[in-house]
Structure formats: C-alpha cells, structure tokens
Amino acid sequence: MGINGAGRWLLDASLSCGVYRSVQCRHGAHVPQAIAGPSIGSILPSVSFAGRHICSITDLSREDLLTVMANAREIESAPPVGLLDHRVMATLFFEPSTRTRLSFESAMARLGGRVIGFTDAASSSAKKGESLTDTVRMAASYSDIIVMRHPREGAARLASEASAVPVINGGDGSNQHPTQTCLDLYTICKLFPGLIDGEELVITFAGDLRYGRTVHSLLNALTHFPVRLQTMAIPGLEMPDECLQLAVKRGIKVDEVPDLQAAVASSHVLYMTRLQEERFPDPVELAHIRGSYRLHAGMLDEAHPHLRILHPLPRIHEIAPDVDASRHAHYFAQAANGIPVRQALLAMCLGVL
C-alpha cells in the first residue's frame, strides 16, 4: 500500500509553484487544492467495516484509517447517487450539536438515505428515565445504523453493546469523537499526501491540550504516520502524559514551542483548539489568556510557506476573523470534509463500500 512515489508532495516548494492552486471559497478564504502529485485515491480500500461500530479512534488501525481515507476520496471525487437508498440512520443526540449532526444528516441524505431521531435528551424517553441501552435497542429496531452523541464518557461503547446495528460515536463527553478525527486526518492527507508514505510532517497542537478530546484523538491517529509533533499549550492545560507516552512509544518525537509565532513559523499544520472558558472562573486571568492566545493575520507574515491552520470549530477568540482570508486558513474546508468522510463511514459500516 502507498502512493505513487513519483508524485510525492514537495515540502520546500512554494505554494505558487504549481503544486497547489488556490481557490476562494464562499467564506473568503483561499483554499489550496492539490492539482498535481499523489492522491489518496491511489490507495486501495483494503478493510471491510460491514457491521462494525465506530466508538473510538483506538478501534481503528492504520489500515482502517487508510481505507476510510480512500473511500472518502472516492466518494468526494465521484459522488455516488443512491448508494444508501432505503437505508435509515437514527441520530440519537442526547446533547446539542451543530456540525456533527448536520453533516451526518447531510451525508446520509446525499447518499439517498433517510434520517430519524432526536436532537436533545429532553425530547427523548431519557427524560422519563429510560436507560440508554433500552433507547438504543429501540432505535436499532427502527434503523440500519445509529449515530449518537451523549454527554457521558463511554456511552457509545455501552450503546454498541446493546445495538443490533452499527453505532457511530458522534461524541461521548470528553472522551472520543472518532469521525472528527477521521475528517481531520483526511484533511491533512489531502493537503499533504506524503504523510501516508514517509514524509515527515510537522504538526503543532495549540490551545487547551488537556481537555480537548480532538487533539488527543488526532494525536493517537497521527502516531500511525511519520509525523513530528509540537505542542503549544495554555499554561495548566498541557497535553496529558498518557498521550505523550503513546507518541513516544510509537517513535514520534514531541517538542514544545513557546508561542503561536514560533508555531506558525515551524509547522506544516497548526491545529488550534478553543479555549474552554468555563475552566477559568477568574475573569482577569481569562482576559489575560485570551490576549496571549489569539492568532491574527499579522502573525502569519513569517509563517511556514505550507502552513495550514486547522480548527475543529467552533472557534471563539483564538483565531481572529482577519485570518479567514489568509491562504493559510483551512478550517472551513476542513469542516466541509466532514461530508465525504461521514458518507464513507456510513457506507462502510452498512457494508455497501
């Protein structure tokens, strides 16, 4: 498995040299598009996901991840019509969600499937005291696949043990959000296809690295690839030791960078996360941190030429709106990648791909 060696991505080439072209999206950002070189589509899907649950990124091997990437790429390049005709997806959202729920519903609708479900616990039988497993058993009998978000950690795993149909975790408390990780990885692979076969990419995680589940899961997934990781944490919210130990165990080097300026100068990917303001009860401290942890367009003058800024969204104060128009901003394109990735996962778990 691997990509065509003749078409490897060129780290030191300028973005304007023809490796990428830049198109303006409707948000005003310039979105780099790979127009030459390798594509994820050259990887052959090799793993069957039929009937599998997707509860945690730790359930997915490197082969699994590559298969998801390949199928997402195939769907994105040639959207299949009616692939999931007559299939029903149940969305059990026990807490609010914007991007995850909408992108799953859109993914299903675009493949011809239908959606049933609820969007908060108050409109489900959970409010009457029904157990999670009873709710899931009922939903499994009405649908072909379940997508679930729940405020308790481990809820998706418990649901998968009660369900007769595949369960996809759309977020369980601060634990896992594997489809977000898949779309993050897909975004990085699209931008830098060399990730897959040995080019060392420098990826910096910035922000709340302690409680942000997206960075933990993405770090886990990236350890299957030859990356070099950097961290730039808000003081007191550093990456947990177990995440760093996993990276070290898998031979991944992790360094700290002192500030965002250093991060943009040295990274191919800067993965920003939101400051979880509820963790800072002192408004003076919060204001100080907000000021010290905010990326604005003026900081990008010295950026690495290939830098791409990612963010799982919603962004609050950590990325100024003036960054959106930069050629380095890529977070809205990243969110859009949620559709083909979730289409791929739905079709794979339903045994259609």
| Residue ranges in contact with other proteins by CB under 8 A | 56, 58, 131-133, 150-155, 157-158, 172-176, 242
- Please identify which residue in the block is written with the tokens 């005709």: 85
Smallest separation, CB 105 to other proteins (Å): 24
Smallest separation, CB 246 to other proteins (Å): 11
d(CA 228, CA 145) in angstroms, rounded, equals 37
- Catalytic residue from among 26, 86, 128, 249: 128
Smallest separation, CB 225 to other proteins (Å): 21
The secondary structure of residue 258, as a DSSP letter, is S
Query: 167 or 329: whose CB is closer to other proteins?
Result: 167
Name which of 225, 187, 200 is nearest 40 in CA terms. Answer: 187
- The values of phi and psi at residue 25, to 5°, are -85, 175
- Catalytic residue from among 99, 114, 137, 317: 99
149 part of the active site: yes
The one-letter amino acid at 216: H
- The values of phi and psi at residue 223, to 5°, are -70, -10
- Catalytic residue from among 53, 149, 213, 327: 149
Spatial CB neighbours of 45, under 8 Å, sequence gap ≥ 6: 67, 70, 71, 74, 353
100 part of the active site: yes
Query: 56 or 266: whose CB is closer to other proteins?
Result: 56
- Please identify which residue in the block is written with the tokens 């939101």: 274
- Catalytic residue from among 53, 67, 91, 100: 100
- Catalytic residue from among 177, 224, 308, 342: 177
Spatial CB neighbours of 154, under 8 Å, sequence gap ≥ 6: 172, 173, 175
| Integer angstrom CA distances of residue 141 from 53, 88, 135, 159, 225 | 16, 11, 10, 13, 39
177 part of the active site: yes
Query: 158 or 201: whose CB is closer to other proteins?
Result: 158
Smallest separation, CB 33 to other proteins (Å): 36
d(CA 73, CA 187) in angstroms, rounded, equals 10
CB 63 within 8 A of CB 46: yes
Query: 88 or 244: whose CB is closer to other proteins?
Result: 244
Spatial CB neighbours of 235, under 8 Å, sequence gap ≥ 6: none
Peptide bond preceding 305 in cis form (omega within 30 of 0) = no
d(CA 263, CA 46) in angstroms, rounded, equals 36
Smallest separation, CB 176 to other proteins (Å): 7
Smallest separation, CB 297 to other proteins (Å): 38
Query: 132 or 247: whose CB is closer to other proteins?
Result: 132
Lookup: tokens for 131: 């157990």
114 part of the active site: no
Lookup: tokens for 69: 């990437």
Query: 241 or 282: whose CB is closer to other proteins?
Result: 241
Smallest separation, CB 158 to other proteins (Å): 5
- Please identify which residue in the block is written with the tokens 């149940």: 90
Query: 242 or 282: whose CB is closer to other proteins?
Result: 242
Active site positions, annotated: 99-100, 128, 149, 177
